[in-house]
């Protein structure tokens, strides 16, 4: 193994148009603070067929170095080709730590890499910091059904690998004049050896259009909404504010709204400017994924509901009375 660097790597996931997924750019933010704490550089890894757009983003969001692997075999994600290329890079450069977005792609790729490297994987992290005492990254993730947050150190294995949920971190400041060192690696994987073949693509219409992670305003409904019709009121408030509809898991599991709207440990992590929780009690699995919102407003009939503990503004009342009044006030503006 060529031990010529000890850097922290951030995987920049791309879509089929070659654009960077937000989560990779967000991870450059903790990537910077954690790599500086260890005297390292932050290195972005871009694998794809056409990588210019993603490389430009990785550069503008502050990567010190960008390692690019390009080829037609990387036009669409496959476990075989991506794990092969990424593993070859790790073997050559020996990074200390690797951050990967906890997207569908990242949740597939990261465990494959960890297994090939015989190292651990801390999956689905919601917080990262540097543990000064041991000199390790501290990876925080929900454990035991989200009932406690585990802070995990990996003192004995390198590289240490973790996946981090989208929208946990804000993207760093963009600076289009920033220049990164660009390194191109020729690593190829035969297309014939990719064992998965795309037969048909069935798009989930809701998943395509609902961008909870990027939403500035979210109006969420829970069990208190009472049924699918109750979500019409939630939608009206979201429309009045130019926001997006979210939901608790109970509302999704009850079939009142599609899973694309679910906020929480097993749904999406969000950090909008304004989060309005309507008829949501504030279970830890829900709070874990929305408590970083800038302003939280809760509407609940129960003054003891835990959601009020984290709300900036709380309204004790029936959402079916409060929301129409809310909308009327907005209409007056």
Most distant CA pair in the chain: distance in Å? 68
Closest CA to 224 of 281, 146, 150: 281
- CA 231/CA 253 separation, integer angstroms: 14
- CA 333/CA 130 separation, integer angstroms: 47
Q: Which of residues 171-210 bind ligand FAD (CB under 6 A)?
A: none
Position with the least CB separation from ligand FAD: 264
Q: Reduce the DSSP state of residue 15 to 3 states and report it.
A: coil
- CA 91/CA 154 separation, integer angstroms: 19
Q: Report yes or no: 10 and 63 within 8 Å, Cβ to Cβ.
A: yes
Residue with smaller CB distance to ligand FAD, 32 or 223:
223
Determine which residue in the list 45, 54, 250, 260 makes contact with ligand FAD, applying CB under 6 A: 250
Taking the complex as a whole, the smallest distance from the CB of residue 219 to ligand FAD amounts, in Å, to 13
**By the rule CB under 6 A, 246 interacts with ligand FAD:** no
Q: Which of residues 127-166 bind ligand FAD (CB under 6 A)?
A: 145-146
**By the rule CB under 6 A, 219 interacts with ligand FAD:** no
**By the rule CB under 6 A, 211 interacts with ligand FAD:** no
Q: Which of residues 293-312 bind ligand FAD (CB under 6 A)?
A: 299-302, 305
Residue with smaller CB distance to ligand FAD, 31 or 222:
222
Determine which residue in the list 83, 90, 110, 283 makes contact with ligand FAD, applying CB under 6 A: 283
Q: Report yes or no: 234 and 225 within 8 Å, Cβ to Cβ.
A: yes
Residue with smaller CB distance to ligand FAD, 85 or 247:
247
**By the rule CB under 6 A, 261 interacts with ligand FAD:** no
Q: Which of residues 40-69 bind ligand FAD (CB under 6 A)?
A: none
**By the rule CB under 6 A, 319 interacts with ligand FAD:** yes
Q: Locate tokens 């509302």: which residue?
A: 251
Residues ≥6 apart with Cβ < 8 Å to 77 = 105, 108, 109
Number of H helices, E strands in the chain: 10, 15
Closest CA to 98 of 28, 36, 10: 10
Residue 157 CB neighbour total at 10 angstroms: 13
Give the range of 26-34, 120-128, 168-176, 279-287 binding ligand FAD by CB under 6 A.
279-287
**By the rule CB under 6 A, 126 interacts with ligand FAD:** no
Site residues, ligand FAD (CB under 6 A): 145-146, 222-224, 248-251, 262, 264-267, 279-281, 283, 285-286, 299-302, 305, 318-320
């Amino acid at each position: 193994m060529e031990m010529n660097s000890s850097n922290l790597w951030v995987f920049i996931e791309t879509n089929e148009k070659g654009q960077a997924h937000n989560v990779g750019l967000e991870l450059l933010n903790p990537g910077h603070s954690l790599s500086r704490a260890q005297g390292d550089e932050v290195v972005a890894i871009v694998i794809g067929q056409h990588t210019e757009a993603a490389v430009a983003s990785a550069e503008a969001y502050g990567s010190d170095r960008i390692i690019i692997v390009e080829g037609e075999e990387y036009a669409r994600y496959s476990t075989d080709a991506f794990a092969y290329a990424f593993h070859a890079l790790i073997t050559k450069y020996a990074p200390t730590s690797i951050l990967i977005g906890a997207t569908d792609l990242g949740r597939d790729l990261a465990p494959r890499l960890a297994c090939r490297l015989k190292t651990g994987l801390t999956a689905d992290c919601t917080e990262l910091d540097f543990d000064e005492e041991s000199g390790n990254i501290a990876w925080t993730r929900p454990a035991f059904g989200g009932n406690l947050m585990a802070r995990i150190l990996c003192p004995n294995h390198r590289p240490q690998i973790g996946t981090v949920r989208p929208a946990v971190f804000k993207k760093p400041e963009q600076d289009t004049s920033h220049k990164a060192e660009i390194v191109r690696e020729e690593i190829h994987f035969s297309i014939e050896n990719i064992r998965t073949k795309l037969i048909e693509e069935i798009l989930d219409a809701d998943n395509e259009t609902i961008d909870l992670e990027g939403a500035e305003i979210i109006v969420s409904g829970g069990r208190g909404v009472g049924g699918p019709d109750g979500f019409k009121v939630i939608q009206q408030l979201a429309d009045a504010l130019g926001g997006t509809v979210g939901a608790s898991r109970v509302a999704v599991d009850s079939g009142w709204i599609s899973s694309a709207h679910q906020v929480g440990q097993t749904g999406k992590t969000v950090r909008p400017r304004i989060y309005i929780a309507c008829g949501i009690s504030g279970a830890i699995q829900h709070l874990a994924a929305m408590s970083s919102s800038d302003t939280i407003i809760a509407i609940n009939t129960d003054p003891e509901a835990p959601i009020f503990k984290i709300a900036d503004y709380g309204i004790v009342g029936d959402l079916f009375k409060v929301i129409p009044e809310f909308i009327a006030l907005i209409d007056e503006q």
